[in-house]
Each structure stands twice: as C-alpha cells, then as structure tokens.
Structure 1
Amino acid sequence: MKARDINATFNALFPEMDRTRPEAGWANVLLWLKNNPPAKRIQQYFGGGLFGGNLSGEQYDAIIIHLDTDIIEHESFINFARESYNYNISTGGDCEARAAEISAVIQIAADFNSMTQRDQSRHVPTPAVESTENWCVAAFHGQPENFELIRGNELTNRFMAALEMSESRSPQDQYTNVDKDNNRRKRFCERHAGGASRVISGCKQFASALDKLAAIQPTPS
C-alpha cells in the first residue's frame, strides 16, 4: 500500500481465535459476520455521524474478510457450509477455483445480496491460497515462482525453514507442524515486508486483494 502512496492502517475487528481450538479460526470469522449483520457493520464501521462509528470513534474505509483455502477439504467446514448456508463446497480444483470457492462462502456469510454495490465493494473477500504461510514464503524467497501451488508438507517445510533462517537458525529437513506463534510471525513479517513485491508477483490472490483495496475511495474525514 505504501508503494501505491496509500497510508493504510489495519485493525483486527474480532478477538483472536480460541487457542484451545486453533483449527476453528474460520469459524470465528463466520461467527463474527453472523453476529454483525450488514446493517450493523455498515452503521458501526462505515456510517459515522451521531450513531455511527465504533466504540473508539474510528471510521473504516473497508473490511478485509480473510480465510485460507486449505480449509476446503476439512469435513467440519464442508458440513458447516452445507448446514448453515445450504452451500455445497467443491473440493480440489486449481488455485483460482479454490479461491473462488472461499470467496463464495464469504459473500454468503457476509450477506452480499442485501448490500448496495458500494457497500459490497467495501467488504473485500481475501482468500489466501493455500494459506498466509504461502505469502510469507513468497516474501522470503528471491526466485520467481507461483507460490500458490505450494501445499501440504511442502508448505510446512518451506515456511518453517524460512522462519528458522530468518531467525539465523539452521532449518530442519522435515517439520510436522507450522509454528503459529503470533510474535514469531509478526517479527518475520516486519523483517521481510520489503519482499511485498514478490508476494504480489507470486500470489495472485494477494495481488487481487491489494488491487481491490487500492481502488476503494477513502471516506472523507
């Protein structure tokens, strides 16, 4: 955003995921949308005026709604979409198809159909293919690559190796799990923010979300 001369500030609008159920991060996002239906979201975050604005008095230009596409094959997610939205998840597919599937769920959960086109544009579905770890790997590595193709064990190994090397540690050959520690992730992202252009060129969905955000006209202060 800075490279486009946009001074952006990002704030989290819902609490961190339940640490006892880290796999349910997607459920927290969809629950937040349910508990904050369109009329409430628009008034509280976009409305301004006497009865608008959130508790801190800030007014937002957009809400980013992010989910990773690696949840597509999770049985709990498939069942939730079917039972809650009468929507049948299409598993598999290429990168674009997986991103489109997540975007479709977000649009249903956010109730795009009840919003004006203007308010729809201020809700930005942001699927990460396959996850935000792909973005981190892209920011770290200098060679051009379609980083959205990395999945499963390969993604775990490449992300953890990048994280370890970023901290001047020797990486292992294999890793079982991705370290989700927020502080480690924050340090990594701050250290490699200069690699944003590699994320843009190597992660199509990241670039698409950036374009959508940059196109939004800020609300006059």
Structure 2
Amino acid sequence: MRLGVVCEGPTDFHAIECFFGYTLQAAGKEVEFIALQPKMDNSAPEGGWGNVLLWLKNNPPSSRLQQFFKGGLFGGEFSLEPLDGILLQLDSDILGEPSFSAYMQKEYDYVVSVPTLADERADEVRSVLSTAAKLSEVTKADQSRHILTAAVESTEAWCVAAFKRPPQDFELLAGQDLIDCFMCALATSEGNVPDPPYAKVDKQSKRRRQFCESHAGSSERIVETCAQFRKAHEELLRLT
C-alpha cells in the first residue's frame, strides 16, 4: 500500500511512519509512506497547522484526485504510481488558538469549537480537516481514501504511549504534563537523567526519528491506549 502523508512537521511524519508502519505490518500490511507535506529534506519547515492547511489549499480536490490517485505527474521526486490513500494529520492542541480560528473563519467561514473531552476534540479536528480538504465535493469512495487523523493532544502523546509503562489513557495528557512526560521519556531513552520541568518539546527531526524507530516495537500500546490512533489504524486497514 502506498500512503501519502500530509502532516504538521517532520517529527509528526516520523511518528506516523514508525508507529503506523509497525502496527500495519503486524496486521500483515506492507506500507510505503510518502511525505507530501513536509518534504523531509533540509528545506522542511518547522511544524505547524498552517503547513497542512496551505497544502490542502494548494491541492484542491480536482487536482488532488488526478495527481495523487490517478497516477498524474507528481513532479521530479515522485513516481507516477498512484497512491492508495492520503493520511491528513493535525494535533488537537491547536483548538483555541486565535490565529487558527481566525484562519478557518476567513478561508472557509468555519467557526472552530473548543470542546474539552478528548474524543470531541478529535471530532472537531476531523471536521476541520474535512472542511479544508473540501471532501463534500468528492465521492464517498474518494472520501474514504482520505484518512483524517487527529492526534490528541499531539503526536508526542503517541511517543509517550510507546515508551511508558504502565498503560494509561495518554490522550488525557496536555499542556505542561505532556511536555514533561515526553521530554522525560526522550531523555531516559537516550540514557540521560530527566530534569523536568521543561520549557518546550524538542523538535529536532533526527532526534525524534531515532526515538520513534527505537520504540516502534511498542506501537501496539499506542493502539491500546490512544483511541484516536486506533481509529486511524482501523481506517488504514480498510484501505487495503
């Protein structure tokens, strides 16, 4: 299965490729992940919701379906072989950001809601992605080839779930708690002594890739403890 990925940034791509790659392989599915956004080279920008929404704006349904699902001309770095699906990812921690709400209001006349429950926040992210991708303009079959993936609150929660024992509902982690849980996991994984509290999450691409590759073998724990990851995993299985 060839799966295009449109996500916020390089660290998210590493989590998607490593963790979904492992769970799908465990289910007997071989997947090739193709980074549509970001490009995963030295020119890749810092992560952010704007990268995803700009990509969707620049690739409206008509050209997206032709270019990526019907073997159209991708450009020099892509083969002509069509994709089986496109995974679209946003973190739910963007809900409540004034700039995000203002963008959605201006571009799509969409009023972003800010629920508190994890599953409702994920539903709102998927609604945003569906609106920005203009999925109402395509057939049901083509809609099903877009895997709308909400990371609650961010893909760092998946990383913590792959690392930390005992299991818990990792989608309840947010804010400073999530920052410290992830950074402590990252430090421990690298053989260092954790030193919380941390000011922010480290977003170095190489460091994140090494972490995700090291703990991909525990990806089934993410399926068990992160309901929204599990939802996307099940939708990916239905693609094949």
TM normalised by structure 1 equals 0.92
Corresponding residue for 2:103?
80
Structure having the higher strand fraction is: 2
Give CA deviations for 1:10-44 in whole Å, capped at 9, x if unaligned: 1110235534xx5xx11110111111111111111
The answer on 1:215 being equivalent to 2:238 is yes
Count of aligned pairs: 210
Give CA deviations for 1:47-90 in whole Å, capped at 9, x if unaligned: 13xxx252322321000000000000111011111111111111
Corresponding residue for 1:94?
117
Corresponding residue for 2:142?
119
Q: Which segments of 5 or more consecutive residues in structure 2 lack a partner in the other structure?
A: 1-23
RMSD over aligned Cα, in angstroms? 1.2
Secondary structure (helix, strand or coil) at the match of 2:149 reads strand
Q: 1:53 to 1:216 in 2, by over 3 A?
A: farther
Corresponding residue for 2:189?
166
The answer on 1:18 being equivalent to 2:41 is no
Q: Which has the larger radius of gyration?
A: 1
Matches within 5 A, 1:169-208: 169-208=192-231
Secondary structure (helix, strand or coil) at the match of 1:73 reads coil
CA–CA separation in structure 1 for the residues paired with 2:149 and 2:37: 16
The answer on 1:43 being equivalent to 2:66 is yes
Counterpart contact for 1:46–1:53, Cα < 8 Å = no
CA–CA separation in structure 2 for the residues paired with 1:15 and 1:106: 17
Q: 1:46 to 1:53 in 2, by over 3 A?
A: farther
Q: Tell me the amino acid that sits aligned with residue 83 of structure 1.
A: K
Secondary structure (helix, strand or coil) at the match of 2:136 reads helix
Q: Which segments of 5 or more consecutive residues in structure 1 lack a partner in the other structure?
A: none
Corresponding residue for 1:105?
128
Give CA deviations for 1:121-165 in whole Å, capped at 9, x if unaligned: 001110100000000000001212100000000000000000000
Larger relative CO (CA 8 A, sep 6+): 1 or 2? 2
Corresponding residue for 1:66?
89
Secondary structure (helix, strand or coil) at the match of 2:128 reads helix
The answer on 1:133 being equivalent to 2:160 is no
TM normalised by structure 2 equals 0.85
Counterpart contact for 1:124–1:212, Cα < 8 Å = yes
Counterpart contact for 1:47–1:53, Cα < 8 Å = no
